[in-house]
Homo-oligomer: A and B are copies of this chain.
Amino acid sequence: MNEDIKHQPEKETARLEAFSDGVFAIAITLLILELKVPVLESSEMSPAVLGKALLRQWPSYVALITSFFTILLMWVHHHAILRNVCRTDAWLHFANGCLLLGVTFVPYPTSVLATYLPTHAAKTAAAFYSGTFVFMAFCFYLFIRAAFRKPLLSPSASAVFIAKTCHDYMFGPPLYFLATISALLDVRVSLLICTALWIFWATTITKNTRA
């Protein structure tokens, strides 16, 4: 960056955040496109049949709600991290890009899981789902390594938040890797680890931003 820009006080990350917010918002909204109005034949048209048809879509509802809150939680983390940053460079843009690629991808393995969880192919679906989060956890780790460098930090950055986040995020990739391996043995163990980690990320961000 050239001299004259270096001294301007404005937050450089504004457009990075706006762009990322856009990607998060779209990824979270596209989920609804999965839901299709059930088609009934006119001979069998009755309130009970439509009710059953709507209930039979439960795997799509589960996928929708799971993906929605997963992406929302990632947005809250992204938001909390960038609060401590006021400058950007090429590395942060690249790490953020990898993260956003993962965010837009999450609905796909979730759909695969919702479709194949009640079938004999459940193991592959669960491994694909957990495997995606190995990638996501790795991207998040890359992202904080890029974001929490001295020259990029905001003067109001919280040293405590940074230390805690760096510590917490290190557990992500190995634990999701464990979930991926478990999927090949028992699907329930894999999903239990993923759920436990989701709760962990939700409580840790609540605690860390409150501290």
Contact = CB atoms under 8 A, between A and B. Distances in A.
Nearest to A8: B156
A211 interface: yes
Contacts of A157: 4
A189 interface: no
Interface in A1-16: 1-2, 4-5, 8, 15
Contact of A75 (B19, B42, B89, B123): B19
A51 B1 CA distance: 45
Interface string A33-55: 10101101010011111110010
A22 to B, nearest CB: 3
A24 B155 CA distance: 30
A198 interface: no
Contact of A104 (B32, B48, B125, B211): B32
Interface string A116-128: 1001111111001
Interface residues of A, number: 79
Contact of A37 (B37, B115, B205): B115
For A50, A115, A158, A184, the residue with the greatest tally of chain B CB atoms inside 10 Å of its CB is A50
A69 B94 CA distance: 9
Dominant SS at the A interface?
helix
Given A5-B83, A206-B90, A51 B21 contact: no
A47 B124 CA distance: 5
A56 to B, nearest CB: 13
For A15, A27, A49, A155, the residue with the greatest tally of chain B CB atoms inside 10 Å of its CB is A15
A47 B184 CA distance: 9
A199 interface: no
Contacts of A111: 37
Contacts of A62: none
A100 interface: yes
9 contacts: A1-B209, A2-B156, A4-B155, A19-B21, A21-B25, A29-B30, A40-B121, A50-B112, A68-B104
